[in-house]
Chains A and B, each alone.
Chain A
Amino acid sequence: MSESSEKWELRLYTAGQTPKSVAALNNLKRVCEEHLAGHYTIEVIDLMKNPRLAKEDEIIAIPTLVRKIPAPLRRIIGDLSNTERALVGLQLRQRSE
Chain B
Amino acid sequence: MKLERPPRREAGTLPKAPTGIEGLDQITLGGLPRGRPTLVCGGAGCGKTLLAMEFLIRGATQYGEPGAFIAFEETGEELAQNVRSLGFDLDKLVADNKISVDHIHVERNEIEENGDYDLEGLFLRLGLAIDSVGAKRIVLDTIETLFGGFDNHALLRSELRRLFRWLKDKGVTAVITGERGDGQLTRQGLEEYVSDCVIFLDHRVIDQVSTRRLRIVKYRGTTHGTNEYPFLIDEDGFSVLPLSSLALDHKVSNERVTSGIPRLDAMLGGKGFYRGSSILVSGTAGTGKTSLSAHLAEETCKRGERVLYLAFEESPAQLMRNMKSIGIDLEPHLKKGLLKLHASRPTLHGLEMHLVQMHKMVEEFDPSLVIVDPISNFVAAGNAHDALSMLLRLTDYLKSRQITAMFTHLSSGGVAGAALENTDLGVSSLIDTWILLRDIELGGERNKGLYILKSRGMKHSNQIREYLLTAEGVQLEDVYVGPEGVLTGSMRAAQEARENAAQTERAEEIARRQRELERKRAALEAQIAGLRAEFSAVEEESSVLAKQDRTRQSAILESREATAARRGADNNSATARKRK
Evaluate contact between B115 and A55: CB separation under 8 angstroms: no
A75 near B121: Cβ-Cβ < 8 Å: no
Give Cα A62–Cα B118 distance, bound, in whole angstroms.
5
- The answer to whether B127 and A51 have CB atoms under 8 Å apart is yes
**Whole-angstrom distance between the alpha carbons of A15 and B118 in the complex?**
10
A60 within 8 A of B: yes
Q: Does A8 contact B (CB under 8 A)?
A: no
Distance, CA A20 to CA B155, complexed state (A): 14
Asked if A59 lies at the interface with its beta carbon under 8 angstroms from chain B, I say yes
B117 touches A77 (CB 8 A): yes
- Please report which residues of chain A, range 39-88, place their CB below 8 angstroms from some CB of chain B when the two chains form the complex: 47-48, 51-52, 54-55, 58-64, 73-82, 85-86
Judge whether A60 and B106 touch: CB under 8 Å.
yes
Which of A13, A58, A77 interacts with B112 by CB under 8 Å?
A: A77
Closest to A57 in B: B121
Q: Size of chain A's interface in residues, with CB distance under 8 A?
A: 33
Contacts of B128 in A (CB 8 A): 51-52, 54-55
- Contact residues, B114-130 vs A (CB, 8 A): 114-122, 124-125, 127-128
What is the chain B residue whose CB lies nearest that of A21?
B120
Q: How far is the CA of A19 from the CA of B116 in the complex (A)?
A: 10
Question: Do A89 and B119 contact each other (CB < 8 Å), given the known contacts A52-B128, A54-B125, A58-B104?
Answer: no
Interchain CA distance A80-B110 in the complex, whole Å: 16
Whether A78 contacts B114 in the complex (CB less than 8 A), given A51-B128, A55-B102, comes out as yes
Chain A positions 19 through 31: 1 when the CB is less than 8 Å from some CB of chain B, otherwise 0: 0100110010000
Q: Point out the residues of chain B lying under 8 angstroms from A23, CB to CB.
A: 115-116
Given contacts A75-B112, A76-B112, contact A55 B125 (CB under 8 A): yes
Could you say which of B110, B118, B150 contacts A75, with CB atoms under 8 Å apart? B110
Knowing A15-B121, A51-B125 are in contact, say whether A75-B111 is a contact too (CB < 8 A): yes
In the bound complex, do residue A48 and residue B111 qualify as a contact, i.e. CB atoms below 8 Å apart?
no
Interface string of B131-147 (1 = CB under 8 A from A): 00000000000000010
How many contacting A-B pairs (Cβ < 8 A)? 95
User: Is B116's CB under 8 angstroms from A60's CB?
Assistant: no
| 8 Å CB contact of A89 from B112, B120, B121, B150 | B112
Contact between B121 and A80, CB atoms less than 8 A apart: no
Residues of B within 8 A of A61 (CB): 111, 117-122, 150
Contacts of A81 in B (CB 8 A): 114-116
Q: Give the CA-CA distance A82 to B112 in the complex, in Å.
A: 12
Contact A13 B117 (CB under 8 A): no
Q: Which residues of B contact A47 (CB under 8 A)?
A: 120-121, 124
The prevalent SS among residues of B at the interface is: mixed
For chain B, give the interface size range.
20 to 34
B105 within 8 A of A: yes
* C-alpha gap A15/B126 in the complex (Å): 14
Q: Find chain A residues with CB under 8 A from B125 CB.
A: 51, 54-55, 59-60
Residue on B nearest A27 in the bound complex, by CB: B115
B114: contacting residue among A13, A60, A89, CB under 8 A: A89
Residue of chain A at shortest CB distance from B106: A60
Query: Given the complex, which residues of B lie within 8 Å of A48, measured CB to CB?
Result: 124
CB of B113 closer than 8 Å to a CB of A: yes
Given contacts A74-B112, A89-B112, contact A15 B117 (CB under 8 A): no
Chain B residues whose C-beta falls within 8 Å of the C-beta of A54 in the assembled complex: 121, 124-125, 128
Complex CA gap A2/B106 in Å reads 33
Taking a contact as CB atoms closer than 8 A, the residue among A59, A73, A77 that contacts B113 in the complex is A77
Contacts of A64 in B (CB 8 A): 117, 121
Give, as a whole number of angstroms, the nearest-CB distance from B153 to chain A.
14
Q: How far is the CA of A58 from the CA of B106 in the complex (A)?
A: 8
Chain A nearest Cβ from B118, distance in angstroms? 6
| Cβ-defined contact, B114 with A77, below 8 A | yes
CA A85 to CA B122, docked complex, whole Å: 24
Inter-chain contact A59/B121, CB cutoff 8 Å: yes
> In the complex, how many angstroms separate the beta carbon of A94 from the nearest chain B beta carbon?
14
How far apart are the CA atoms of A55 and B127 in the complex, in Å?
11
Give bound CA distance, A18 to B121, whole Å.
Answer: 13
Q: How far is the CA of A24 from the CA of B121 in the complex (A)?
A: 15
Q: Given A54-B128, A55-B125, is A62 in contact with B114 using a C-beta cutoff of 8 Å? A: no
Question: Given the complex of chains A and B, what is the CA–CA distance between A50 and B122 in angstroms?
Answer: 14
Contact with A along B426-468 (1 / 0, CB 8 A): 0000000000000000000000000000000000000000000
- A3–B465 Cα gap in the complex (Å)? 103
Out of B115, B116, B119, B124, which one reaches A51, CB within 8 Å?
Answer: B124
Q: Chain B 72-84, CB within 8 Å of chain A: the 1/0 string?
A: 0000000000000
How near does chain A come to B354, taking the closest CB pair, in angstroms? 44
The 8 lowest CB-CB distance pairs between A and B, nearest first, are A78-B115, A81-B115, A62-B120, A79-B115, A59-B121, A78-B114, A15-B120, A89-B112
15 additional A-B pairs beyond A75-B112, A77-B114, beta carbons within 8 Å, are A13-B121, A20-B116, A48-B124, A51-B125, A52-B128, A54-B125, A55-B125, A61-B118, A74-B110, A74-B112, A77-B117, A78-B114, A80-B114, A82-B114, A89-B112
Q: What are 18 inter-chain pairs, A to B, with CB distance below 8 A? A: A13-B121, A15-B120, A20-B118, A55-B128, A60-B122, A61-B118, A61-B150, A62-B117, A64-B117, A76-B114, A77-B113, A77-B117, A78-B115, A78-B117, A79-B116, A81-B115, A82-B115, A89-B112
